[in-house]
Structure 1
Amino acid sequence: MMTRVKRAYTDGRFGQLHYRIAAPEIPSALPPLYCLHQSPKCGLEFETLMRTVGRERIVVAPDYPGYGGSDAPPAEHDATTPAYAEACWQVAGALGHDTLDLFGNHTGAKVAAEMATSRPDRVRSIAMVSAALLTPEERAFFSDYFTPIPLDEAGTRFTTMWERILKRRGPGTSLEMLAQSYMMNLLGGEAYEWGHIAAFAWDQPFVDALKTLPHRITILNPDDDLAECTRRAPALLKNGEVIECPQWGYNFMDVWPEDVAALLAKVLR
């Protein structure tokens, strides 16, 4: 039986923060698992996985400010990785959650690292999907790739978004899953690329975090755009490993939630 995922709001620095939460019928001794989304998505990308993980422990997926149902910061310079991490801690505070496990996807990997850096005594273990350890050339490519596409009457932004989602379609991904991914992009509005910009600005702190954080960090490496640069992580990790997952691509948490939940249960300890 799958666990029901509920939605709620709490107050944050920039307004309301929206989050999803699932919990087992019988309370668990495991710390809550906080799922931290990629850009420009929201906590909805974890909902299928939450129904599975939620059978064993509390699992929470906040929307960063400006994404999903959360109010946006007033300006782009306010949208930073530390601000996203602080928003997630505000959700944890509202729910009375002290010690957490963290699971960050792409941008969420950096948010997880910042959460652990800012409150190391409140994090037990960390899992990440990919590690954006970019060369200057890769950084320039991605910065150009994720430059916001202006609105026009031809709908260029929307056709380009859909083409990119189709191109990166992972094994087993249905059209309905792709449509949901597309919808999450649109919820970011005109600020939809602020999250990528915030993530690129947090490059060196991320490297420093991998080198110094004492927490166990497990990085899952699916077959996606960051697969090659993720393989640079083992040389940096103070305590952890990279697990190759070539059978998975984008949307793998929707396609194989039971497998992902089982792997997370193994590595988050």
Structure 2
Amino acid sequence: MRGYVDTDWGQLHYRHSGPTAAAARDVVVLLHESPRSSIVYQPVLDRLGEKAAVYAFDTPGFGSSDSAPAGAVLADYARIFVQALDALGVESFVPVGMKTGSSLATAIAATVRGTGRVERMVLYGLSEPSTRDSEHWAQNWAPELEVTADGAIFGHLWRKNVGIYGIECPGQLAQCVAETVVNLDRYNSIYPAVFRGHQQTWDDNLALIADGVAVTVLEPTEAQMTPDVPIEFVHVPGTKVVKMPVNGQFAVRAPDAFVEAVLDAALAARA
């Protein structure tokens, strides 16, 4: 099922599987990486929905959701997501985020910190912040893209995503390029907030862990910003690290491992 929920920023689009939030014992909230949309979770929605109520949102500015205002920071995004969850009747929930979605998951958990609404969460591999690097990538990771008569934009985006994910899943590469091009005026909207918020995200994670929030970290086989700039992951004490069999887009490329890890985390309180 798909739907929309009203917020102060307009409508957020979501995909839903399983029971309603009111009827469910467990609620999982899926937050996608950018510049994708909630469609990346389509392969796992039904399986997750057998065990929990599942809501996969399009981040503001992506997919079919309305845009975020210029200059919005992570805390602003988090407030809008909490507003949407409140409107859907979601009380306690497990945020699950990949890449930029992981930063959003932390920001959402920090927003409701101390209320008991988030006791477990699932994040993408953790890396220590660097103020210099964060500002560099905030300015340079997703520059404005020019559309020219020779179609060079398609080759540029294809090469960029091959550099990140390899060539083993060309269908997903094509879909990523397509989602970027169709959303060209908004595709880079969230990156400044995520990169400039890296230190705050790190601090929030440490605070949440200290509070007793159970954090599962899904770590890829490898990751890189560019072909010559790898991402170095760290194991934060108090977290459970699950090694994934692929280097990204877990729900599509390794759905069995992803579903198992998410359900292990989401249903842990039942054990």
For 2:141, the equivalent position in structure 1 comes to 145
| 2:253 partner letter | V
For structure 1, the 5+ residue unaligned runs are 1-5
- Matched ranges for 1:71-90 at <5 A: 71-74=66-69, 76-78=70-72, 80-90=73-83
8 Å Cα contact 1:171/1:249 also seen in 2: no
Residues 233 and 185 of structure 1, relative CA distance in 2, 3 Å threshold? farther
For 2:240, the equivalent position in structure 1 comes to 241
Residues 111 and 20 of structure 1, relative CA distance in 2, 3 Å threshold? same
- Matched ranges for 1:14-53 at <5 A: 14-23=9-18, 30-53=25-48
8 Å Cα contact 1:133/1:229 also seen in 2: no
Q: Which residue, out of 107, 128, 131, partners 1:133? A: 128
Q: Which residue, out of 173, 190, 215, partners 1:195? A: 190
- Matched ranges for 1:177-188 at <5 A: 177-188=172-183
Q: CA deviation at 1:231?
A: 2.5
For 2:6 and 2:199, the matched residues in 1 are separated by: 30
Query: Once structures 1 and 2 are overlaid, which stretch shifts more, 200-209 or 162-171?
Result: 162-171
For structure 2, the 5+ residue unaligned runs are none
For 1:141 and 1:77, the matched residues in 2 are separated by: 17
| 1:117 partner letter | A
Q: Percent identity?
A: 22
For 1:261, the equivalent position in structure 2 comes to 259
| 2:101 partner letter | G
Residues 187 and 134 of structure 1, relative CA distance in 2, 3 Å threshold? farther
For 2:249, the equivalent position in structure 1 comes to 251
Using structure 2 for the length normalisation, give the TM-score: 0.84
Using structure 1 for the length normalisation, give the TM-score: 0.85
For 2:224, the equivalent position in structure 1 comes to 225
Residues 137 and 73 of structure 1, relative CA distance in 2, 3 Å threshold? closer
Residues 139 and 154 of structure 1, relative CA distance in 2, 3 Å threshold? farther
For 1:170 and 1:28, the matched residues in 2 are separated by: 41
Query: Once structures 1 and 2 are overlaid, which stretch shifts more, 130-139 or 213-222?
Result: 130-139
8 Å Cα contact 1:102/1:127 also seen in 2: yes
RMSD of Structure 2 on Structure 1 (CA): 2.5
For 1:56, the equivalent position in structure 2 comes to 51
For 2:187 and 2:175, the matched residues in 1 are separated by: 15
Q: CA deviation at 1:228?
A: 6.2
For 1:165, the equivalent position in structure 2 comes to 161
For 2:16 and 2:24, the matched residues in 1 are separated by: 17
Q: Which residue, out of 95, 110, 122, partners 1:117? A: 110
Q: CA deviation at 1:29?
A: 5.0
Q: CA deviation at 1:142?
A: 3.3
Query: Once structures 1 and 2 are overlaid, which stretch shifts more, 164-173 or 38-47?
Result: 164-173
